[in-house]
Structure 1
């Protein structure tokens, strides 16, 4: 409570006023400042001129009583604790004034007793508690409004980003634009950077609202770290840096963690290391920490060590705080919202760990964090050997082959990376994200007379792993060559995979020469550029126009369509640019596409038009997407609906309306191709 309490005394008896004022003036702590009025009109005038902490109100005021005054105070919107003073004791009066909103009720004979001061204090404490509750409610409402605004902002920004990135991809794919490839690449790179900033902002918003949940899974540590190395090695190589992974103590083969969020932390730290290191190396060190007084269990520790420019010691306490940046040479040539490390800290906390940094200005930095690896008591342990592979002296093969290759990996970035390497050898490429999708793609391709010649199959995947997928293929009498891709290095693994029936084994990270040896073994070598000219044109859907041994199209990162007849797709999107872009991308892939810009048009177009799929935006001018979906299904029960949204849709709400697929804007060419590649 304040040292000075401002009291409004509403009392029409002067003697009682002097009695009350005299008692309060004798108090040394707290001190009281008293304003005296005699009726409700004077009280309202006083409230307009001055702020009061408490009101002492006589029950009888000439023609008015306390109930009348309380009603007047309430009607003017004045909120203040009111203690009623009376010269008589009447329990009915007590009940009435308390129901009318008084904070307490006292007899005037108690003014000079300790109970009077206690009543004053309690009334004000209750008022402070109520003020805190109101303020807390305001903050909660402001946070809800902020979350709603950020969700809306995310949607509004992702929609134009779809057009920016999508049309830039189309222009980059056009050979006629070679002279402006550099400018287009700059647009595309900056668009992706803007998207990463947006993702950071939305992640931070979810963290601050305590809405970010982890999804722990069993993670094969060797495979996981090899994937991280593969994803970041190209960025390191582009700057002439060496990226290596060193394991200093035996670690469990399998841990329990959220792979997406753990990967996010590592990639963020490695990306920062690459960004701020101009020469030298970046090393990721992994080891186990024994149980301690702070943590009564073993922890898995990661260190990201760089030889970069480092940070001043006085800046180290700030870098994990949201929106903090080091405003000196470190940020002179590097953008960012200052959220990446703050997000890392919160994610590591959610994984029951801590993150810290050691740095010397001009010498480099070491970021260290540890996570709870789950129950690892029964897990075998081994030293990981994931250092950067030494470069081969073998001259690079200029391989030119024809054939169809299916790449199966649950990480989209690694699928695309492997697909890029395969497409450089002019083979056709299709993708699947798990064993089930791979099985469907291979069997459909065989039924339609365009079988795959080779499947590159990752071993560790969700839904169905590579070994189970291979067994399922063989049960269907499919004899397509399947080569395993694995990061595990334990003794005898290669032979055990060959014993399972794989035709070969490739290690991660995939070496280009090893991959080309596999392609040369299982695909048909063609005669290079001359063969392209002799073979003739390639159909728009990516399939050769004849069954002869001709090379596939040499477009960068081609995607194979395994269907023989075009798919009919309805795009339901109110943003004209985004709708036209998706239509254009899908038409280029050989599909028949129409656009509806609102729900009513979609319902009219769906009837008797034979659409197989609908890309449905959640935010339409006349419908919410999840309200429209059941009405679409009433017209076409077999319609496959894919949600397209600028924000992450609620999985439970999608499940409630029978929708299993969704795309997050900005939607890229690769997203759409992968979505319909196996239809």
Structure 2
């Protein structure tokens, strides 16, 4: 066995050698580059300083030349000559300033020949040198001189002549200043020196400057290195005698340091880059060796699933070893995969069979042998056609043909299907087969996975049977509910109708009370039946929503009409407020919304003994063509404990068992309401405290019709004043809000006396008169009619037109009566549209006196001029008698039929204006009878007679079924007299 010695990796050695060599070479190159760069930069700096010095000399020569030209021009100027002779000082100053402006560093002075005074362009002190030069009559130019103030200059003089006579002297002093911006070539650190009297002075200050040459060579033709005031730099002659230019070498040194730093950074970067490059080169060279060593080590440990280095290495010997190891690994992998596949093949839970494209079985696993009930040799002698039931033989052949034409690996080469298999031993079974085309033993074959799905097929059949049974049971339940509805509502129709007949027969008080109790019990029973049937429909999922346009105000009128008796009997005030932004029409299911409102309103009236019930409608939001309404029903009843407020929406639940005993009911009403609200896309909630009433609030999402308007969109009562008289502040509050939505101003009066005081004030000087009075019918002191008479007696013709707002206590069901009056009457609660319409008629004097706009006794429509013959098809003799009673005092005559056949026969023989058709009758039912009548009308060309369906099935889908059969309208049992008469009036008025 080889002994392991301490060694180093080839990669590490390559990296160290490469980095060391590169670093030495780069360092030598850096030294050469730095030396070359420094010499080049110094020569460039020297050339630059020489060029700048020459440019500076040219600058001063140009300045001197311009000064000389201005001085010559001054000597030739006639105006100067004249003003000098005349002694006009301000004119001489103006002219001197004009000439001096052309040369900024030139100062001009004048002196008359016979005067000691020297004139200048400004008022400043005149240099002594100017006085001295002005005494020289002949032209002359001085050398570079220094003034007593320390300023360097060159002075020139010119005589001023009048013909041959010298009348004065002009002196020009050119002062040397540092050049203006842009003269020097981007140089900031510089100095100007003047060699004056053998010593250097600073041109700016005139002070002596210390100058020391640092080089033995003193070639004045090129800039020389020197120290000026301790600063290193180059000193160069400008070409102008006596003036030298010094430039500091500090920027040059900064450039040298920056270049050195850059070279060091490049050196470091190059070293790092070379290290990385050497590392990867080492990996490239030594990687195959390491992989080879690792593979050999793993193979020695028995691990055959290894990946050898791909490709060819630069080392021939390594390649040979790699190829040998690769061949060994291929053989090991084949053996390993074969063992693994055999393990999976045998241990998988499903039966696996491999067969060729002719169906002959090539291989199978143990599960396939168990499933087919045979041993291996027998199995390999069979074909797939031997295992498939005879009726599936053609399908098996088609599968083989499809697989034969499909290339292996294609998605189409995979199939899944079901067949019945007949094993060698055992019973036939349903099998799910998954096939896939593959290569097996150098030929195309099919891998087939077979799974016994007989238990699943049995479960599916059982489930299918159970669903059929459930559907049959559901149909039986629906039929039972419909039958129960008919069987209960039909006699209930007779019972309640006969009670009405008895009440109209002149009974004594005790008998009337008994009948009233009987009617109340019957209505309670009917409500219970309705709740149970409604909930059954909802639970069965048979609720179907309509999608039709309808008016909200009309819906509320119907709901309050249905609950008016309940409110009147308890003397409760019912109040309705619809916000001005609520649309007049929406699209949806009016019957479902009506049922929700009816349930909530009836619930509040049931649990309220004293006070009022308020319904408010607001718009919660508008999104595109949908509106979300928030409708709240608030009462002053017994209230609900907080811990019970969530459970009251559960099935068969009330807030308290004592409540159920006292008020009755099944506890289904709110549960039904909650389900219906959710069907309309909304939610319902309650806020309440015991003894303080309850507020039920629900939302619903309703589409808007194409053309939608809101209730209070037009302020039709703008500028009108209305006096509101009522002792209920809540009623007055909502009346004020409603009238304000239409632009009217309202004044409240809580008593007759307060109303009279308000009317007295209107008669005062400057007071605005009232345009109308809305008078409550039940005031604390007296009724509304008596109050109106009292006020009419007092104010006479000054009394505004009055509308009597009828309280529920003054309806026939409320028990109170009002004296006869000629006042227009409007019953509470009125919708905003009706209230404003009546009020406009009152203000415009278009209402008939004594007109009852909404009367509890019945509709105000006059049917005295309307007649007709009605055919009543009803199998119940009691209901036939009841319908006859309903129409006894009406202008309509009746004929009767006991079933559908008789109804069709009588219709063919007689002339009828309307038909009331019971739907569920023996023999021919109402649907078939209606269709027969419509066919007869079509055949004979007779006019279409309105047919009103009368059925105990009180659902919207039943109504749709009646209309689809040919009926024009629909009445649910038990139908009340008023409803029957209104339907007849409506259809016969067309």
TM-score normalised over the length of structure 2: 0.41
Q: In 2, Cα distance between the equivalents of 1:167 and 1:230? A: 22
Cα 1:367–1:674, aligned 2, differ >3 Å: closer, same or farther? Answer: closer
Query: Residues of 2 paired with 1:87 and 1:233: CA distance?
Result: 91
Equivalences for residues 352-391 of structure 1 within 5 A: 352-375=681-704, 379=710, 386=734, 391=778
Which deviations, in whole Å up to 9, do the C-alpha atoms of 1:571-626 show, x marking residues without a partner? 22222222232234334435443333234444554554444443322222221222
Q: How much does 1:344 deviate?
A: 1.1
Task: Flag the 1:396–1:161 CA change in 2: closer, same or farther, 3 A.
Answer: same
Contact 2:870/2:894, CA 8 A, preserved across alignment:
yes
Corresponding position of 1:617: 918
For 2:851 and 2:709, the matched residues in 1 are separated by: 42
Query: Which residue of structure 1 lines up, in the alignment, with residue 887 of structure 2?
Result: 586
Post-superposition shift, 1:269?
1.7
Unaligned runs of 5+ in 1: 1-25, 30-55, 62-84, 108-114, 400-413, 428-452, 459-484, 506-517, 523-554
The question of 1:488 aligning with 2:833 is answered yes
The offset of 1:651, in angstroms, is 5.3
- The 3-state SS of whatever aligns with 1:148 is helix
Mark the CA change 1:598 to 1:316 in structure 2 (over 3 Å): closer, same or farther.
same
- One of 925, 940, 948 as aligned partner of 1:642: 948
Secondary structure of the corresponding residue to residue 205 of structure 1: helix
Contact 1:246 1:385 survives alignment (8 Å): no
Answer yes or no: is 1:210 the counterpart of 2:516.
Answer: no
Counterpart residue number, 1:674: 982
Return the offset for 1:662: 3.2
Match of residue 896 from structure 2: 595
The separation in 1 between residues aligned to 2:380 and 2:838, in whole angstroms, is 94
- Say which SS state the counterpart of residue 681 (structure 2) adopts: coil
| Higher CA-based Rg | 2
Deviation of the 1:229 alpha carbon = 5.9
Conserved 8 A contact 1:278-1:308: yes
Q: CA deviation at 1:457?
A: 11
Matched, 1:317 2:646: yes
Q: How does 1:121-160 map to 2 (within 5 A)?
A: 124=455, 128=459, 131-160=462-491
Q: Is the 8 A contact 1:245 1:385 kept in 2?
A: no
Task: Quote the offset at 1:362 in angstroms.
Answer: 4.9
Instruction: Provide the rounded CA distance (Å) in 2 between the counterparts of 1:494 and 1:610.
Output: 41
Q: Tell me the CA shift for residue 151 of structure 1.
A: 1.3
Question: Once the 2 structures are TM-superposed, how far is the Cα of residue 487 of structure 1 from its aligned partner?
Answer: 2.3
Instruction: State the match for 2:316 in structure 1.
Output: none
1:576 aligned onto 2:924: no
Report how far residue 370 of structure 1 moved: 1.5
The whole-number CA distance in structure 1 between the counterparts of 2:870 and 2:497 is 18
RMSD after superposition: 5.2
Distance 2:909 2:819 in 1: 41
2:670 match: 341
**In structure 2, C-alpha distance between the alignment counterparts of 1:260 and 1:502, rounded to whole Å:** 37
The equivalent of 1:15 in structure 2 is: none
For 1:565 and 1:306, the matched residues in 2 are separated by: 42
Q: 1:256 aligns with which of 575, 583, 586?
A: 586
Q: How many residues align?
A: 480
Distance of aligned partners of 1:125 and 1:558 in 2 relative to their CA distance in 1, 3 Å threshold: closer
* Alpha-carbon displacement from aligned partner over 1:237-262 (angstroms, at most 9, x marks no partner): 64455544567x86434352544433
Q: 1:584 to 1:129 in 2, by over 3 A?
A: same
Aligned in 2, Cα 1:424/1:314: closer, same or farther, shift over 3 Å? closer
Give me the whole-angstrom Cα distance separating, in 1, the residues matched to 2:481 and 2:535. 11
Alpha-carbon distance in 2 for matches of 1:286, 1:656: 34
TM, length-normalised to structure 1: 0.57
Shift of 1:157: 1.3
> Whose relative contact order is higher, 1 or 2, with alpha carbons under 8 Å and at least 6 apart?
1
The structural deviation recorded for 1:167 is 0.8
Preserved contact between residue 917 and residue 950 of structure 2 (Cα < 8 Å)? yes
Matched, 1:662 2:989: no
- 1:92-103 to structure 2, matched below 5 A, reads 93-95=387-389, 96=391, 102-103=429-430
Tell me the SS of whatever aligns to 2:545: coil
Deviations 1:158-210 (A, max 9, x none): 11012101111011112244441111111112222222223333333333323
1:245–1:496 CA distance, 2 compared to 1 (3 A): closer
Native 8 Å contact 1:241 1:279 kept in 2:
yes
Q: CA deviation at 1:350?
A: 2.3
Contact 1:311/1:359 (8 A) holds in 2: yes
User: How do residues 17-32 of structure 1 correspond to structure 2 at under 5 angstroms?
Assistant: none
In the alignment, the residues of structure 2 paired with residue 606 and residue 374 of structure 1 have an alpha-carbon distance, to the nearest angstrom, of: 43
User: What's the CA shift for 1:304?
Assistant: 2.9
| Distance change in 2, residues 1:320/1:118 (3 Å) | farther
Please point out which of 628, 648, 669 is paired with 2:929: 628
1:393-417 deviations in whole A, cap 9, x for unaligned?
A: 5645499xxxxxxxxxxxxxx99x9
State how far apart, in whole Å, the 2-side matches of 1:563 and 1:243 are: 32
2:661 equivalent in structure 1: 332
Q: Does 1:190 align with 2:514?
A: no
1:124-163 superposed Cα distances (whole Å, 9 cap, x missing partner): 5565555444434433332222112111211111110121
- Residue 384 of structure 2, aligned match among 90, 114, 119: 90
More displaced, 361-370 or 572-581?
361-370
C-alpha contact 2:625 2:704 (8 A) present in aligned 1? no
Partner Cα separation in structure 1 for residue 734 and residue 471 of structure 2: 47
Q: 1:655 Cα shift?
A: 4.8
Spell out the pairing of 1:29-44 with structure 2 (5 A cutoff). Answer: none
For residues 383-422 of structure 1, the aligned pairs below 5 Å read 386=734, 391-392=778-779, 395-397=783-785
Distance 1:495 1:86 in 2: 101
Residue in structure 2 matched with residue 503 of structure 1 by the alignment = 846
Query: Relative to 1, partners in 2 of residues 1:625 and 1:378: Cα closer, same or farther, differing over 3 Å?
Result: closer
SS at match of 1:333: helix
Q: Does the C-alpha gap of structure 1 residues 622 and 335 become closer, same or farther in structure 2, counting only changes over 3 Å?
A: same
Q: 1:503 is paired with a residue of what secondary structure?
A: coil
Q: In structure 2, what is the equivalent of residue 81 of structure 1?
A: none
Query: Structure 1 residue 671: deviation in Å?
Result: 3.1
When residues 200 and 426 of structure 1 are mapped into structure 2, their CA distance, relative to the original with a 3 A threshold, is farther
Which digits, 9 at most, give the CA deviation of each residue in 1:79-112, with x for residues without a partner? xxxxxx99955235325576668331799xxxxx
Q: In the aligned structure 1, how far is the partner of 2:866 from the partner of 2:626?
A: 58
Q: Distance in 1 between matches of 2:890 and 2:819?
A: 18
Partner-residue secondary structure (3-state), 1:214:
coil
Alignment check: 8 A CA contact 2:823 2:851 kept: no
